[in-house]
């Protein structure tokens, strides 16, 4: 009877866990997040959602990517992106700051304020960094990339160092062109798959810390 009683007690607990509400994670970003140039199902958010579903994660990933957005644009819409149902936020901005040659100091100020807005509403944040080219010189490149690690350290945030890490790994020192669209800026569907596969474990770990 003791064992049977234990099993009876376990049933409601299991049922509650199965019916638990998924956490809501919003992905605040630019065209890389939005899925520019791709069929909807091939974009970053749908592919990452599918990856997380396969891992059994109870999470709803919301696409808040807007093509062309700089970190300043992301800051401007952070307040209305942080709706009451949002439990966590991925911040993946900076690509257009780099393309426009905007000062790294501006990127840092904007990202810092976005993080501050999220924290003020008890929303957990994961920061996605970006490795950039040397178009504006080695000093600019270094200062730009260091922004992400500095903010992550100061705000005690998880950091995924480089959005394109999955492509660099697949290229193995060669060109990532096979995984890019014709513009050379945005990944194609296979490129997104590689990005998701590489980033997925870090995002899953982040999701598991959000309640």
Q: What are the sequence ranges of the domains in the chain?
A: 22-207
**Hey, what CATH class is 22-207 in?**
alpha beta
Q: What single-letter DSSP state applies at residue 21?
A: P
Model confidence at 12: pLDDT above 70: no
- The whole-model pTM stands at 0.89
What are the tens digits of pLDDT across the range 40-80?
999 999 999 999 999 999 999 999 999 999 999 999 999 99
pLDDT-derived band at 21 (thresholds 50, 70, 90) equals confident
Q: How far apart are CA 28 and CA 151, in angstroms?
A: 16
**Residue 101 structure tokens:** 């040659």
Which residues, 6+ apart, have CB-to-CB distance to 134 below 8 Å? 141
Q: Supply the pLDDT for residue 169.
A: 97
Q: How far apart are CA 98 and CA 148, in angstroms?
A: 13
Q: How far apart are CA 165 and CA 68, in angstroms?
A: 21
Three-class SS state of 82: coil
Cβ neighbours, 10 Å, residue 131: 14
Q: Supply the pLDDT for residue 20.
A: 66
Write down the residue that tokens 């307040």 correspond to: 79
Q: Which of 18-32, 131-145, 187-201 has the lowest mean pLDDT?
A: 18-32
Q: What single-letter DSSP state applies at residue 22?
A: P
Q: What single-letter DSSP state applies at residue 182?
A: T
């Amino acid at each position: 009877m003791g064992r049977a009683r234990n099993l009876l007690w376990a049933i409601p607990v299991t049922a509650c866990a199965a019916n638990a509400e998924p956490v809501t994670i919003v992905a605040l970003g630019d065209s890389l997040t939005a899925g520019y140039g791709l069929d909807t199902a091939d974009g970053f958010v749908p592919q990452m959602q599918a990856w997380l579903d396969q891992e059994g994660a109870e999470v709803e990933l919301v696409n808040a990517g807007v093509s062309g957005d700089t970190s300043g644009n992301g800051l401007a819409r952070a307040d209305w992106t942080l709706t009451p149902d949002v439990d966590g936020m991925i911040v993946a901005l900076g690509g257009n700051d780099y393309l426009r040659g905007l000062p790294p100091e501006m990127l840092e100020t904007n990202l810092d304020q976005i993080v501050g807005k999220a924290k003020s509403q008890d929303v957990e944040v994961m920061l996605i960094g970006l490795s950039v080219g040397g178009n504006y010189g080695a000093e600019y490149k270094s200062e730009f990339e260091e922004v992400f690690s500095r903010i992550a350290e100061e705000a005690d945030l998880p950091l995924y160092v480089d959005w394109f890490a999955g492509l660099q790994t697949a290229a193995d020192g060669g060109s990532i062109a096979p995984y890019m669209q014709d513009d050379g800026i945005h990944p194609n569907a296979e490129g997104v798959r590689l990005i998701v596969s590489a980033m997925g474990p870090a995002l899953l770990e982040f999701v598991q810390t959000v309640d």
